[in-house]
Amino acid sequence: MPASAVRDAALKTHLLSILARDDLKRIVDDLEIPGVDRRSVEAMRAAERQSRGATAPDLLGYLGKDGLKEVCEAVGVSAKGRREELVERLLGNGKPQQSEQPTQRKRKMENNGAAKEKGQTGPAANGNGGGKRLDAPALESWLWEAACVIRGPVDAPKFKDYILPLVFLKRLSDVFDDEIQHLAHEFGSEATAAKLVEKDHKLVRFFIPEQARWTSITTQTTGVGQFLTDAVRAIARENPRLSGVIDVTDFNATTAGQRIVDDARLASLVQVLSNPGYRLGLDDVEPDMLGRSYEYLLRKFAEGQGQSGGERFTPTEVGIAMARILDPMPGNTVYDPCCGSGGLLIKCHLRLLETKGKKENGRRKLPPNVAPLKLFGQEIEGSTFAIAKMNACIHDMEAEVSLGDTMHRPAYTEGDGRLRRFDLVTANPMWNQNFDAKTYENDGFERFGRGIPPTSSADWGWLQHMLASLKENGRMAVVLDTGAVSRGSGNQGANKERDIRKDFVDQDLIEAVLLLPDNLFYNTNSPGIVMVINRKKRHPGEILLINASKLFSKGRPKNFLEEEHIERIANIYHQWQAEDGLSTVITKAIAVKNDYNVSPSRYVATNGPEPTLPLEDAVVLLQEAEEERVEADGQLDDVLAKLGFTGWRNG
């Protein structure tokens, strides 16, 4: 065998040993290798090792620049230089030495989620041209560096007001550049594509005027504040959908006659955000990168100032699992009544692209005969609402997002005032939210006929609103705290949450409950559950309970679900499987016997320690008990007053 063939074979073996699961799957798909178990990393590696189509040069195309550096260091060659130089160096050197597996696998679900969902594969999936992947830790480090630039003149809770619009502006610019490149494949050159886009702005998601493109912004050295303000306003003029979304910040604003952020600091902020290693194109970052940025800035700075962030960003992989459970069909209407930055709606949109889309110029698009989803969201917080609008625009979704208080003033109603109904609902409402009893008692939309929730936890208030928003054959997947499926069960006498849950079980509305692992969510270590409601259940009289508390990979600072975990959960749900130590199917009668406790941990043992009651649940139980005591005292006062006993509390 020629020396070059030996070298390439050894390099191929080494590359297959370090490529992550998602890359291996894309290679199987690209090469159309038949009969491969895509759930097994070793099976995919073995198949690709045997495939003549998976050559060492091809496999190098699946690595970013960081990955190429890692291989260079492993084989003992220089890791300096451009991407092309690293590839040439690797292909021109001898047999790579044995190396250890990387200690930190890139979390492909976040870092490359958009490329995967859109069907982008191979070297093209490295949309940043070999730069770093902006994963969660890198994103947070990047935002922290940006925040440090404007510390001092801006109060910490206001950092997001300056940083997020610029992050969005850069994202728009990078996406615009990507679209010009993709159009170049169709029209022959980037120059031709650029000229056509200048004449017909409809060729791109949104047209970015030349003075507002990031390349122009980075060269500005004087009058930066006014230049940035003019840039975002120019974008809003060219793209009416972004009016009131991107142009809300005046970078030239003053207070008491002084600039809030001077030009020098703004120029430094732009330079930080211009890190050449990080692009924000569609294939460079996770789909809801803007939402994650907002959550980080809020958590890091607003809560650090004693303010409540009020947000609960849904981990990317949890949103993907929910979308796979719901598995939206063409033309479905999908609703999120507390949509935050729109992440769960995005996941449903991407799921339809994954299942029904066709590749076109390297991207997945829905064919003309496949109807897109019609997405609807409502959000109470102005900044988050703006991000949801941004996300809807970036992902070219057919979405309507409204600003307002869903519980008191739902945005989506019919002409006669009744709530509008949807095919699917997906949501992650704030857990254990406090609402006054009058919210439920004075409701004009007939939402809370199954019972008034305690003022200490609105979980079952949200569930009743969502149920009222479902069509007769509708389904929903909702993230809640674990106590929502067990609180009150086993209590003597009445319990508000248990009594509402009883009605849901008796009416055969609860289809499945998924217990998530600990430490997935940003601002709590509690696990959370996903409850699936189905008005037309596939298996009437049964409830599927999945205890996925052990299905996770350890991370720092947060745990996460791998693709194999999500796939396993979705398969159990769709195939309605009972699996030892993971899932079981109970009947309504069993739920009744257990006083309407439908917590998976009660029925599915994982051979681990008995789960402890989360602090959040303990606080809710305490508040609910106090609420019941006050109510009982009031009833006792009424009885004693009728008997002539008044002022008895005072002796």
Q: Report yes or no: 342 and 386 within 8 Å, Cβ to Cβ.
A: no
Q: Is residue 559 scored above 70 in pLDDT?
A: yes
Confidence band, pLDDT 50/70/90 cuts, at residue 155: low
pLDDT score of 575: 96
Q: Which residue has the higher pLDDT, 155 or 199?
A: 199
| Mean pLDDT calculated for residue range 5-31 | 74
User: Is residue 596 classed as helix, strand or coil in its secondary structure?
Assistant: coil
Q: Is residue 129 scored above 50 in pLDDT?
A: no
pLDDT score of 621: 60
Place of tokens 């003075």: 211
Q: Which two three-digit tokens encode residue 514?
A: 């998924």
Q: Which of the following CATH numbers is that of domain 316-609: 1.10.15.40, 2.40.340.10, 3.40.640.10, 3.40.50.150?
A: 3.40.50.150
Q: How high does pLDDT run on average in the chain?
A: 82
pLDDT tens digits for range 69-124: 777 877 777 877 776 677 778 777 433 333 333 323 334 444 444 444 444 433 33
Query: What's the CA gap between 246 and 46, in Å, rounded?
Result: 49
pLDDT tens digits for range 421-459: 999 999 999 988 889 889 999 999 999 999 999 988 899
Please, what is the angle between helix 159-187 and helix 289-297, to 10°? 170
Q: What angle do CA 129, 135, 138 make, to 5 degrees?
A: 95
Phi, psi of 347 (to 5 degrees): -60, -40
Confidence band, pLDDT 50/70/90 cuts, at residue 337: very high
pLDDT tens digits for range 565-613: 999 999 999 999 999 999 999 999 999 999 999 999 999 987 655 556 6
pLDDT tens digits for range 200-234: 998 998 899 999 999 999 999 899 999 999 999 99
Confidence band, pLDDT 50/70/90 cuts, at residue 361: low
Which pTM value belongs to this model?
A: 0.68
Confidence band, pLDDT 50/70/90 cuts, at residue 54: confident
Q: Which helix (H) or strand (E) holds 607?
A: none
Q: Which of the following CATH numbers is that of domain 136-305: 3.30.530.20, 3.30.1490.100, 1.20.1260.30, 1.10.357.10?
A: 1.20.1260.30
Q: Report yes or no: 86 and 68 within 8 Å, Cβ to Cβ.
A: yes
| Mean pLDDT calculated for residue range 629-637 | 76
Confidence band, pLDDT 50/70/90 cuts, at residue 248: confident
> What CA–CA distances, in Å, run from 584 to 170, 486, 565?
48, 17, 17
pLDDT score of 551: 93
Q: Among 270, 265, 410, 278, which residue's Cα sits nearest to residue 336?
A: 410
Confidence band, pLDDT 50/70/90 cuts, at residue 126: very low
Buried/exposed code over 319-355 (b: 16+ C-beta within 10 A; e: otherwise):
bbbbbbbbbbeeebbbbbbbbbbbbbbbbbbbbbbbe
